[in-house]
Amino acid sequence: MKAKFPAIYKVIYKEVGKIPEGTVATYGQIAERVGCGPRQVGKALSELPLGTKCPWHRVINAKGMVSIRSGNHVAHYDQEALLDDEGVELHNGKVDLKIYRWET
């Protein structure tokens, strides 16, 4: 049986799927594009099904940092590693949004 998600989640996942490899978007940036709040974007990404192809790791906070998910510090390091694998550099835990922000 498939999990039932709010309809906006599908819209969020589709928008996140557009973020090109080697770039990042902020929660607020995605929220603005789909018409919801940044926290709702974070909630939707935290509820992604296992094995998803949605590039959740490309969404970071407005400070250019990976947000620690409650109770899941492993995902924090996985996200940094996935970004690094795509060539997104983190310096002192921060991504330079002037360089790596997805501009549409």
Neighbours of 14 (CB within 10 A): 11
53-66 confidence digits (pLDDT tens): 999 999 999 999 99
Q: Which of residues 75 and 10 earns the better pLDDT score? A: 10
> Is this model's pTM higher than 0.85 or not?
yes
| Residue 33: inside a domain | yes
Q: Which of residues 72 and 92 earns the better pLDDT score? A: 92
Residue 39 buriedness (CB in 10 A; 0-12 / 13-18 / 19+):
exposed
Q: How far is it, in rounded angstroms, from Cα 63 to Cα 71?
A: 21
Residue 17, pLDDT above cutoff 90: yes
Query: How many domains would you assign to the chain?
Result: 1
pLDDT (average), residues 76-92 = 90
Residue 71 buriedness (CB in 10 A; 0-12 / 13-18 / 19+):
exposed
Residue 81, domain CATH: 1.10.10.10
Residue 1, pLDDT above cutoff 90: no
Q: How far is it, in rounded angstroms, from Cα 65 to Cα 61?
A: 5
| Residue 2: inside a domain | no
| Residue 59: inside a domain | yes
